[in-house]
Amino acid sequence: MSLLIPCIIAGGAGTRLWPVSREAMPKPFMRLPDGESLLQKTFRRATGLADVQRLLTVTNREVFFRTLDDYRLLNKGGTALDFILEPFGRNTAPAIAAAALHVSRLYGEDAQLLVLPADHLIKDLDAFAKAVQSARKLADQGWLVTFGLVPTQAETGFGYIEKGQALDEGSFQVARFVEKPDAATAQRYVDGGLHLWNAGMFCMRADVVLRELQEHAPDVLAAMTECLAHSHGREGSQELQLELDGKTLGLAPDISIDYALMERSKKVAVVPCQLGWSDIGSWQAVRDLTPADANGNQCNGETVLFDVHNCYIDSRKRLVGGVGLKDLIIIDTPDALLVADSKRSQDVKLIAQELKRQGHEAYRLHRTVTRPWGTYTVLEEGKRFKIKRIVVKPDASLSLQMHHHRSEHWIVVSGMARVTNGEHEFLLDTNESTFIKPGKTHRLVNPGVIDLVMIEVQSGEYLGEDDIVRFTDIYGRVPVEAGKS
Amino acid sequence: MSLLIPCIIAGGAGTRLWPVSREAMPKPFMRLPDGESLLQKTFRRATGLADVQRLLTVTNREVFFRTLDDYRLLNKGGTALDFILEPFGRNTAPAIAAAALHVSRLYGEDAQLLVLPADHLIKDLDAFAKAVQSARKLADQGWLVTFGLVPTQAETGFGYIEKGQALDEGSFQVARFVEKPDAATAQRYVDGGLHLWNAGMFCMRADVVLRELQEHAPDVLAAMTECLAHSHGREGSQELQLELDGKTLGLAPDISIDYALMERSKKVAVVPCQLGWSDIGSWQAVRDLTPADANGNQCNGETVLFDVHNCYIDSRKRLVGGVGLKDLIIIDTPDALLVADSKRSQDVKLIAQELKRQGHEAYRLHRTVTRPWGTYTVLEEGKRFKIKRIVVKPDASLSLQMHHHRSEHWIVVSGMARVTNGEHEFLLDTNESTFIKPGKTHRLVNPGVIDLVMIEVQSGEYLGEDDIVRFTDIYGRVPVEAGKS
């Protein structure tokens, strides 16, 4: 059979999972109670399939380094990594068109794409591998293959796929796609046995995708062909990055692969499957990952509860006391707290939307912000001071920079730092500290092989992130940019 | 009329107000939305009365400095301050006996004590002043005068006073005291008009208290006479401190003034009054201090709410998002969160009791800990580091000390520090920093006239509070003691 290239598509903000999911740290990066992110689980699932030597990821440029970090921890088998990096999210049709063009050009027209959303959960990996095998056979025959999940309840939040004529090995041609139904219709679908959930996973040959796009969505194909022609690639030892050109990407229609292709093509098949699948679409779905106690409560973190029933409480750093509660979801994070009726977990997005409307930081960022060189966490801000914990990855470096209005005091609590302070360059060992006066150019490098963990205390009259003059930056960022260098 | 000495009695943990009220920062210190503590309001109320030149406070030794801080901010009139400091809380009978002995000895037998609990709220200060005037007349005539609040609802949480024979100016002899009634009895009391709430406030001549104690509770009087004989006083320019001897105090009966005296004496009168009084006994009482919005929500702090009704939300540092909530109390503090059904606000004490049983830090301490020299707040703890914000009051000084296992890095963000580091002594100005190596004796002093605010970053293998060798301490604390010096 032809080459299989799993293609992880990361997109969507996950606003219903606020305050854990935020714009700058969207749902794929959400850590489950076992410590792995949804993205990591997707990576593991994709690279665990037979004959996978290469994995393609289509994601936002902003989260590229974070994605790489998540992968590297798991990528012991040395799967080659391709990235298509979007300057902004468009939609699934442009993303998949770009993936098909890329794969077809580099790895052969008959290579198969296995499209996987980055933020779903699948418990039964054997069933998943079998379903992929079935899908591959159909894909080889020229079908656009979807995965149809046997519904377990009358869900109104998903689209459905109606089975048509039977094909090989328990698979079917797709009769039609149907939009999110109302409750009564959903119940009929479940009872009737003809309908399956559309999970947004696909298996298809690159040339078939391109041919069908040419027929049914030529504007998408043309726009993405143009976009790739204007895009620039970079190749590392194990990684290939293709950074999409923003100007031409902006001209591509903002349309999903379902609308653009699946609902229009006659060559769509479905493999029915039971995978222990969840789209982790709300806190109600997340809570099921934590076992319930005798009162039906599912708790992560320390709690003291009296007469509390059927609540989900997630609080990793703060003690939660509860009295006389029922059917609540309580999610505590360092800078924001969510308390919601568990029956209203879909409406959590209203809060995220309102925060977005206000331009509120709690929509976009967490206390911990990821940068190419590592992370920083604002521990405390007050009048005349700001304290950050800075983690610099081995071999990574912050840009050479200068601030006009603030002193920076650096204390190494773990690892080793190489510091440039004006004309001086010196090593700073664990438990040592130094300070950078206003107006001094400085740079911080981790020359070691373990993470450098530093506490930075800024003091001064003005501590805005925009008081920075950046001289050189190995990550190619623009000279002046808001945000920690 | 004879001298009036208000006597503020601080006691009680306020466990129903967890997580704001804690053992080391009990209810009197709770800040109301206007920024003043209950203790400060009590101080203001007492010193606002006519002819008050001196105020006596009976409180725990542990919170003496904190009490003084609260008073000093308000004590512009220069009221003289007497303190009777208890090494541990006993009960109201021993406390009031000590107060009467102290006042009688120093300020005359006929001086009047106005006993005020430190943690109640009174809105109508004019009515309070009038009630005190009436009480003083009766006290002069030799009555033990109680204040009886006209009940506003059938409260089952308070004791009641039954009016007897009428005395002067709308006051009455007390027929009897009754325990907390059931709901039906409470309703009968309210309807009948004969019963008043017992607010635990008293006005009485020192010699009358001592005479009546001699008759009805001679064991209490004897024990406290013995205790005062073994206690030691200290006199400052404006303050007199009498530190009760723990050994003899431990021999005093653990009994309330109501049981020991009021219920037994024939010389008890009551002044009925309407003061806008509240004992701030639960979060339901606290919430009434914050105006309600159109949905009946009372919020302090930033919130984004959808379909939330009749909730009280207090979160000063964290954004709270709510969806589909009704009748909840949500109290967020830096290290603990409370979510409770508002009808169950009395049961919040169950959480505090459970934490006490577990020996949990969240029962005893806040993130911010008060010391004689100021405060420290643990901002963050992690592997190999601990960060504190330290506030040192003008002229205050930490003890000369040494740590075996940790470095301390000090950054001045406001004010000026005088640092002793080994043999060196130097000034550290705002925005400057220094560091203390393990094994170096060091001391920190605020030589200035404004607060010194410092960030301390500790780093090392072992960061326990018990790694401290203390050499000298101007606050007379024992050489080695757990807790920041």
DSSP B220-249: HHHHHHHHHHT-EEEE-SSEEEEE--HHHH
Are the Cβ atoms of B431 and A336 closer than 8 angstroms?
no
Nearest Cβ partner for B409 among A336, A407, A433: A433
CA gap B471, B396 in Å, rounded: 16
- Give the model's pLDDT for residue B480: 41
| CB-CB neighbors (< 8 A) of A330 in chain B | 337, 339
- Give the model's pLDDT for residue B481: 40
Are the Cβ atoms of B341 and A330 closer than 8 angstroms?
no
3-state secondary structure of A457: strand
Nearest Cβ partner for A340 among B19, B322, B334: B322
Are the Cβ atoms of A459 and B382 closer than 8 angstroms?
no
Closest by CA to A320, choosing from B341, B357, B335, is B335
Are the Cβ atoms of A385 and B315 closer than 8 angstroms?
no
Residue A296's contacts (CB-CB under 8 Å, 6 or more residues apart) are A309, A310, A311
The distance of B10 to chain A (nearest Cα, Å) reads 26
Nearest Cβ partner for A457 among B324, B407, B411: B411
Following DSSP, what letter does each residue of B137-201 receive, concatenated?
HHHHTT-EEEEEEPPSS--SSS-EEEEEEE-GGG-EEEEEEEPPP-HHHHHHHHHHS-EEEEEEE
Instruction: Output DSSP code: residue A160.
Output: E
Helical pair A206-216 and A92-107, crossing angle rounded to 10 deg: 130
Q: How far, CA to CA in Å, does A370 sit from each of A63, A98, A171, A366? A: 8, 27, 43, 9
The verdict on B474 touching A (C-beta cutoff 8 Å) is no
pLDDT of B479 strictly over 60:
no
Tokens of A50: 């037979």
How crowded is the C-beta side of B364, counted as CA atoms within 13 Å? Answer: 8
| Higher pLDDT among residues B363 and B403, named by residue | B403
The verdict on B303 touching A (C-beta cutoff 8 Å) is no
- Range 350-409 of A in CB contact (< 8 A) with B: 350-351, 354-355, 360, 362, 379-380, 382-385, 387, 389, 407, 409
Range list of H helices, A18-119 = 38-47, 64-72, 92-107
| Sign of the alpha-carbon dihedral angle for B430, B436, B440, B443 | positive
Q: Which residue of B has its CA nearest to A330?
A: B339
Would you place residue B73 in the very low, low, confident or very high pLDDT band (cuts 50, 70, 90)?
A: confident
Q: How far, CA to CA in Å, does B63 sit from each of A456, B37, B67, B371, B470? A: 34, 14, 6, 9, 22
The verdict on B335 touching A (C-beta cutoff 8 Å) is yes
The distance of B455 to chain A (nearest Cα, Å) reads 8
The distance of A190 to chain B (nearest Cα, Å) reads 29
Quote the ipTM score.
Answer: 0.83
Phi, psi of B38 (to 5 degrees): -60, -40
Are the Cβ atoms of A347 and B379 closer than 8 angstroms?
no
Phi, psi of A221 (to 5 degrees): -65, -45
Contact B37, B55 (CB under 8 A): no
| Sign of the alpha-carbon dihedral angle for B220, B226, B227, B233 | positive
Range list of H helices, A54-165 = 64-72, 92-107, 125-140
Would you place residue B476 in the very low, low, confident or very high pLDDT band (cuts 50, 70, 90)?
A: low
The verdict on B450 touching A (C-beta cutoff 8 Å) is no
The distance of B456 to chain A (nearest Cα, Å) reads 10
Are the Cβ atoms of B383 and A414 closer than 8 angstroms?
yes
Are the Cβ atoms of B380 and A380 closer than 8 angstroms?
yes
Domains detected in chain B: 4-278 (3.90.550.10), 283-358 (no CATH), 368-472 (2.60.120.10)
Are the Cβ atoms of B321 and A337 closer than 8 angstroms?
yes
The distance of B197 to chain A (nearest Cα, Å) reads 28
State the first-to-last Cα distance of chain A, in angstroms, to the nearest integer.
47
* Amino acid code (one letter) for A44: R
| Higher pLDDT among residues A85 and B235, named by residue | A85
CA gap B351, B181 in Å, rounded: 25
| CB-CB neighbors (< 8 A) of A460 in chain B | 431
Nearest Cβ partner for A431 among B19, B335, B460: B460
Nearest Cβ partner for A387 among B325, B347, B455: B455
Are the Cβ atoms of B323 and A343 closer than 8 angstroms?
no
CA gap B7, A266 in Å, rounded: 90
- Give the model's pLDDT for residue A435: 86
CA gap A162, B353 in Å, rounded: 58
Q: Which residue of B has its CA nearest to A438?
A: B431
CA gap B472, B479 in Å, rounded: 7
The verdict on B436 touching A (C-beta cutoff 8 Å) is no
Per-residue pLDDT of chain A (485 residues; tens, 9 = 90+): 789 999 999 977 788 999 998 887 889 999 888 889 999 999 999 999 998 999 999 999 888 888 988 998 899 888 999 999 999 988 999 999 999 999 999 999 999 999 999 999 999 999 999 999 999 999 999 999 999 999 999 988 899 999 999 998 899 999 999 989 999 999 999 999 999 999 999 999 999 999 999 999 999 999 999 999 999 888 776 778 999 999 999 999 999 999 999 999 999 999 999 999 998 989 998 998 899 999 999 999 999 999 999 999 999 888 999 999 999 999 999 889 999 999 999 999 999 999 999 988 887 777 888 888 998 988 888 778 888 889 999 999 988 888 888 889 999 988 999 999 988 999 999 888 888 888 889 999 999 999 999 989 898 888 877 888 877 766 666 444 434 44
| CB-CB neighbors (< 8 A) of A332 in chain B | 337
The verdict on B459 touching A (C-beta cutoff 8 Å) is yes
Q: Burial of B431 by CB count in 10 Å (0-12 exposed, 13-18 middle, 19+ buried)?
A: buried
Are the Cβ atoms of A324 and B332 closer than 8 angstroms?
no
The verdict on B429 touching A (C-beta cutoff 8 Å) is no
| Higher pLDDT among residues A115 and B473, named by residue | A115
Closest by CA to B306, choosing from A326, A346, A280, is A346
The verdict on A303 touching B (C-beta cutoff 8 Å) is no
The verdict on A290 touching B (C-beta cutoff 8 Å) is no
Tokens of B64: 């003496």
| CB-CB neighbors (< 8 A) of A20 in chain B | none
Closest by CA to A231, choosing from A116, A59, A85, A338, is A85
CA gap A77, A43 in Å, rounded: 12
| CB-CB neighbors (< 8 A) of B355 in chain A | 304, 321
3-state secondary structure of A315: strand
Buried b (16+ CB within 10 A) or exposed e, B135-164: bbbbbbeebbbbbbbebeebbeebbbbbbe
Helical pair B92-107 and B218-229, crossing angle rounded to 10 deg: 60
CA gap B415, B428 in Å, rounded: 9
| CB-CB neighbors (< 8 A) of A304 in chain B | 351, 354-355
Contact A458, A407 (CB under 8 A): yes
Residue length of chain A: 485
Tell me: the pLDDT tens digits for B278-335?
A: 989 899 989 988 999 999 999 999 999 999 999 999 998 889 999 999 999 999 998 8
The verdict on B322 touching A (C-beta cutoff 8 Å) is yes
Contact A214, A221 (CB under 8 A): yes
- Range 202-261 of B in CB contact (< 8 A) with A: none
Q: Which residue of A has its CA nearest to B320?
A: A337
Residue length of chain B: 485
Q: Which residue of A has its CA nearest to B347?
A: A323
Contact A85, A244 (CB under 8 A): yes
The verdict on A414 touching B (C-beta cutoff 8 Å) is yes
Phi, psi of B83 (to 5 degrees): -125, 135
Are the Cβ atoms of A321 and B340 closer than 8 angstroms?
yes
- Range 79-138 of B in CB contact (< 8 A) with A: none
| CB-CB neighbors (< 8 A) of B404 in chain A | none
Tell me: the pLDDT tens digits for B13-65?
A: 788 999 998 887 889 999 888 889 999 999 999 999 998 999 999 999 888 88
